[in-house]
Structure 1
Amino acid sequence: MADMEVALKDMMMLDGAIGAAVVDYGSGMPLGVLGGSKSFDLEIASAGNTEVIRAKMRTIEQLGLSEEIDDVLITLATQYHLIRPTRSRRAKGLFLYLALDRSRGNLAMARHRLKDIEAELEI
């Protein structure tokens, strides 16, 4: 089992990692952040991505689908943004958020690693 600090460090160890956060999608507040910069505010990104998750969850419910979100990928010109909701009872109501530099990051590896980190996370 990994705590939040370990999870954030693991996310930032991925090639091309720009910033990582563990976010409560009920409030939109990050519980922890690592990385980012003056021009890339992880708190603003966390709040914005909370709206993405909430909208998709509402849509799934309205459609009557018995599905869960594995992850959400937002592709920008120079970055990938990955959002992975947590499913375990130990970390319910959260999502992992990772921003990657497209020229240095490996999207497949990042998705695989986030899945592992989410499974190990205990808050």
Structure 2
Amino acid sequence: MMLVPTYVAASAIHGLGLFAAEPIAAGTIVWRFAPGLDQVIPPERVNDLPAHARAFLDRYAFESAFFPNGLLLSFDDTRFINHADDPNIDNTGIDSIARRDIAANEELTCDYRELDGDVAFVGGA
């Protein structure tokens, strides 16, 4: 669950992006797993879903070493965070943390490879 105010808008990186609604100080936890809201979807459940639901999960959910029993799906607009090779969010720990000060209206970015080393992505470099 995002712990800082954000909004979704057009992205210069790819499609839509998630933007900081106010400044975020370096070291701030910006996302933390919220049981009951964020979900870890077991593989057997994914296999039982219709094709359009599996396609949604293929795009917005991912495997995570921190949540190893399925696909992690955030309930909020986290799914609009785009990839960057020099991101402003660190996802190398269980919480996502601002790597540096992030200005209001700046797009939030992460390195998808920190989330899932196997990931194929669009946008970013």
- Normalising by the residue count of structure 2, what TM-score does the alignment of the two structures yield? 0.28
Larger Rg: 2
- Normalising by the residue count of structure 1, what TM-score does the alignment of the two structures yield? 0.28
Normalized per residue, which structure has more helix? 1
